[in-house]
Amino acid sequence: MNIFKQFIASLYSPKMIASFRHHKIGRAIGYVFLLMFITLIPLAISLGTTIYSFVNQLENHLEENVPDFQIQNGLLTSDETDEPVINEEDGQTIIFDPSGELTQSDISGNYDEAIALLEREAILITNGVTQQPVSYQDLDLNLTKTQAVDMVEAFSGMLPLIISLIIVLMYLFYTASKFIGVTFLALIGFIFKKSVGLPNMTYKHSWVLAAFTVTLPTTIFALVNVTGLNIPFQFGIYWTIAIVMLFQVLRYIPKPKTEE
């Protein structure tokens, strides 16, 4: 069977997965690589779109909405304003405050997506979560608005390379994690082989079955993550689905005949 057809069948058919048990281990390993490639596509598209949008909006905000400024000796100053300037557009907020009036506590919890350039530090907020503030003094940063815009433009030109590198690293990390998960799931199947009436099942058979069994939970949570849904106990739910699916698969493996 074509490996892509195996992917589709593995989403819903324990009986079909059971028929894959005699595949060579190399085919199962290749399937895990393919599975992670397919399930990472939505996340990669979402990540790339988000980064492009964020950088483009940042560049536009800097050019059009942020007053001229300079950062020197750890302080943000501006000759155009001495009070906070807050611009909101398309769900993104840029906060500019050379006066020192605003602090991290004034900003945290009030915005979903924001960049705050405060008197002594810069703060990034993503999905309502305030990231670690960056002190200008710690970075030994000396910068003007013109230089900042030039830096963002240069960074924007490198985005295809940067995003590609991030996606490759994500793929390698998630694939390595999946191999660990498959190995552990195969061990569960091997430990309980006698309980399900399969005393002759080898660990190799169990590993091959586990590689196809994780298709359903992996695909489900890939879609959940890309939609941004926050489902509690994802780890436990994933493993519950995987283990239940594995035991359903084992039910379809012919049992050895017992001697009378």
Residue 257 lies in a domain: no
5 pLDDT exceeds 80? Answer: yes
* Domain around 192: 3-46+161-251
The answer on 231 and 171 residing in a single domain is yes
- Counting the structural domains of the chain, the total is 2
The answer on 98 and 42 residing in a single domain is no
pLDDT at 202: 94
208 contact partners, CB below 8 Å, separation of at least 6: 20, 21, 22, 23, 25, 27, 28
Residue 180 burial class via C-beta count within 10 angstroms: exposed 0-12, middle 13-18, buried 19 and up:
exposed
The answer on 165 and 234 residing in a single domain is yes
221 pLDDT exceeds 70? Answer: yes
Residue 229 lies in a domain: yes
pLDDT at 66: 86
Residue 151 lies in a domain: no
Residue 173 lies in a domain: yes
Rounded CA gap, 1 and 30, in Å?
14
Residue 21 lies in a domain: yes
Confidence of residue 160 (pLDDT cuts 50, 70, 90): very high
Residue 177 lies in a domain: yes
CA 101 to chain centre: 36
**Over pLDDT 70: what percentage of the chain?**
99
69: tokens are 């400024």
The answer on 92 and 32 residing in a single domain is no
Mean pLDDT, range 123-147, rounded to an integer: 87
The answer on 78 and 11 residing in a single domain is no
Residue 13 lies in a domain: yes
The answer on 220 and 97 residing in a single domain is no
Confidence of residue 18 (pLDDT cuts 50, 70, 90): very high
21 pLDDT exceeds 60? Answer: yes
Sign of CA dihedral 222, 227, 228, 232: negative
128 pLDDT exceeds 50? Answer: yes
Of 141, 173, 197, the last residue of a domain is 141
Mean pLDDT lowest for which of 10-19, 22-31, 234-243, 250-259? 250-259
Residue 62 lies in a domain: no
pLDDT at 199: 87
259 pLDDT exceeds 60? Answer: no
The answer on 247 and 168 residing in a single domain is yes
pLDDT at 111: 85
Three-state DSSP class for residue 62: helix
What phi, psi does 85 have (nearest 5°)? Answer: -125, 125
pTM: 0.81
pLDDT at 219: 96
Q: Are 242 and 5 in contact (CB under 8 A)?
A: no
The answer on 84 and 19 residing in a single domain is no
Mean pLDDT for the chain?
A: 90
The answer on 221 and 190 residing in a single domain is yes
The answer on 225 and 184 residing in a single domain is yes
